[in-house]
Amino acid sequence: MSAAALRVGLVGVGSRAYIGRLVGDHSDARLVVAADPRPAAAERARELFGADIAFTTDYRTLADTGLDAAIVTVPDDAHADVAEFLLRSGIAVYLEKPLATTMAAADRILTAAFESGSKLYVGHNMRHMSVVRMLRDIIGRGEIGEVKAIWCRHFVGNGGDYYFKDWHAERSRVNSLLLQKGAHDIDVIHWLAGAYTTEVTAMGDLMVYGDVDSRRDNSDRLLDDWFSHDNWPPQAQTDLNPVIDVEDISLVHMRLANGVLASYEQCHFTPDYWRNYTVIGTRGRAENFGDSAGGVIRVWNRRHEYQLEGDIEYTIDGDVEGHGGADELTMGEFIRFVRSGGATDTSPVAARQAVATGIMAAESLRDGSTPRVIPPVPDEVLRYFDDHQTPQSAPR
């Protein structure tokens, strides 16, 4: 590829589209066009990206604009169609997580990248969050010995506003919030443990938001139009989506390929909003309190009774906004990958394994907590990404 600035497009001018502005932080890349089927999105595109941004209502026309890359921030159920078209058109793709909402769709995307040779990058930005990288460094230094268990509690305090007032509340659009929201943490668990899930069981329910009577079609609005911390308590929420059939609380148990046991708990009606990881090894454990700047990670590596402070304490750095600065780092890695290739900290295979675990967990919790086995990635696809993108230390 020439040294000229990369020409980048964006598909889907919704709530997450603001990450397109990060392209402008890089002198070797330029956001030149946005696509969205809603004509009204043209004005939002100009507000986000400036008056000079080109706009189209049909993403398929991007194949004829000489783009080098495209950022895809469409709703989850459209990921496969958009990503496959762009990849097969020779355009590198930054695809927002989750990779897809079904196993077939996830494997379609990976196969399109494999068969076309176009570069695929999935935006699992939490791999660039300070709290995650610090936990990984603690594990890598051997401070807690060999990892044997990982527990994640996810308090989704903004869940009522984020996920129950639009298409996120519908199974037909997202399958389960174990994909839209949980794919982040499942991927982190896999990365910290050094292995992917092989077997999963789960239980969950729609405990709170299904009983709220105030409903509205919010397709004319975006998250910024209705979000407020004053929308509390959960039962007092207003203007929820007309259809709500995803769970607002879920509990997942996982067995990983290397024997590590893991759990993930997600609740959308807590008052606070943060993630708590506990990693237990053969010589100690690590746990974070807060997951952004100002929080801490504590390590216990001596035997004693209750001790709040731990034996070692590390302060979490990074910015408070933008997933702790991870959005900027993720976009930077994508632009470098498009231009130069090589290994990336994020991984399409890992993204597939995260949604596969979420999909199978959703099946389990909706079927009496029956165990589910995670389908493997096709061998030729796995070899392709191993050879072209995945670090040698990737899980198996």
Residues 350, 115: Cα–Cα separation, whole Å: 19
pLDDT by residue for the chain (396 residues), tens only, comes to 447 899 999 999 998 999 999 999 999 999 999 999 998 899 999 999 999 999 999 999 999 999 999 999 999 999 999 999 999 999 999 999 999 999 999 999 999 999 999 999 999 999 999 999 999 999 999 999 999 999 999 999 999 999 999 999 999 999 999 999 999 999 999 999 999 999 999 999 999 999 999 999 999 999 999 999 999 999 999 999 999 999 999 999 999 999 999 999 999 999 999 999 999 999 999 999 999 999 999 999 999 999 999 999 999 987 655 566 899 999 999 999 999 999 999 999 999 999 999 999 999 999 999 999 999 999 999 999 988 877 756 676
Kindly report the CATH number that applies to the domain delimited by 127-315: 3.30.360.10
CB 365 within 8 A of CB 204: yes
Closest by CA to 211, choosing from 160, 285, 153, is 160
CA atoms within 13 A on the CB side of 52: 3
Residue at 360: amino acid letter: M
3 state SS of 279: strand
pLDDT value of position 1: 40
Judged by phi (left if over 0) then psi (alpha if -120 to 50, else beta), residue 12 lies in left
Are 118 and 93 spatial neighbours (Cβ–Cβ below 8 Å)? yes
Contact 170, 245 (CB under 8 A): yes
Beta strands in 103-210 (DSSP E): 120-122, 147-156, 197-205
> 24 phi and psi, to 5 degrees?
-65, -10
The vertex-222 CA angle with 122 and 70, nearest 5°, equals 30
Angle at the Cα of 153 from the Cα atoms of 147 and 154, rounded to 5 degrees: 130
* DSSP string over 137-150: HHHHTTTT-SEEEE
Any idea which fold 6-124+331-342+375-388 has?
Rossmann fold (3.40.50)
Task: Show the CA angle centred on residue 88, arms to residues 84 and 90, nearest 5°.
Answer: 125
pLDDT of res. 319: 61
In angstroms, rounded to a whole number, what is the distance separating the alpha carbons of residues 14 and 384?
32
**Interatomic CA distance for residues 394 and 384, integer angstroms:** 14
Q: Enter the tokens of residue 78.
A: 């459209």
Beta bridge partners of 203: 251
| Residue ranges of domains in the chain | 6-124+331-342+375-388, 127-315
Residue-wise over 71-91: b if at least 16 C-beta within 10 A, else e? Answer: bbbbbbbbbbebbbbbbebeb
pLDDT at 321: 56
Q: Specify the pTM.
A: 0.95
